[in-house]
Amino acid sequence: MDMRSSIEDTRKGFEESFASGEFYNRQTQDSDHMEKILRFVKIRGRMRILDLGCGSGYLAFPMAKNNPDSEVIGLDIVSDTLEVNRSGVNKEGIRKFLRSIISRS
């Protein structure tokens, strides 16, 4: 299997997982783990933060909420996660968040 096929198979697997809600829902249930990560990441001033593989926005949303002067950029291979996050940004009223980037080329 070549690299492009491998990436496409991986993307399809993540999309199926996101659509079923199983993996993404389990992944975001551990608030203790999330708090440890947020304490570890030292965000200052007007930083630009990339959440690579942002998925449900598990880390990106709290980073954006807690650091309104910073820009949080979410990137994910699953386009549906980015659409869900875009609507979440509007719902949460986050000013600078999630410039969604995805390419299938």
Greatest alpha-carbon span in the chain: 45
103 domain residue, yes or no: no
Q: Residue 16 maps to which CATH number?
A: 3.40.50.150
66 domain residue, yes or no: yes
Please tell me the total count of domains within the chain: 1
30 domain residue, yes or no: yes
Binned at pLDDT 50, 70 and 90, residue 94 comes out as low
102 domain residue, yes or no: no
pTM of the model: 0.69
pLDDT of residue 17 exceeding 50: yes
82 domain residue, yes or no: yes
pLDDT in tens, 28-71: 667 888 888 888 888 888 888 888 888 878 888 888 888 888 88
pLDDT at 102: 42
Print the domain residue range for 57: 3-92
* Nearest alpha-carbon partner for 55 in 30, 74, 70, 36: 74
pLDDT in tens, 52-63: 888 878 888 888
Torsion sign, CA atoms 7, 12, 18, 22? negative
104 domain residue, yes or no: no
Cβ(64)–Cβ(97) under 8 Å?
Answer: yes
43 domain residue, yes or no: yes
Q: In degrees, to the nearest 5, what angle opens at C-alpha 86 toward C-alphas 80 and 90?
A: 150
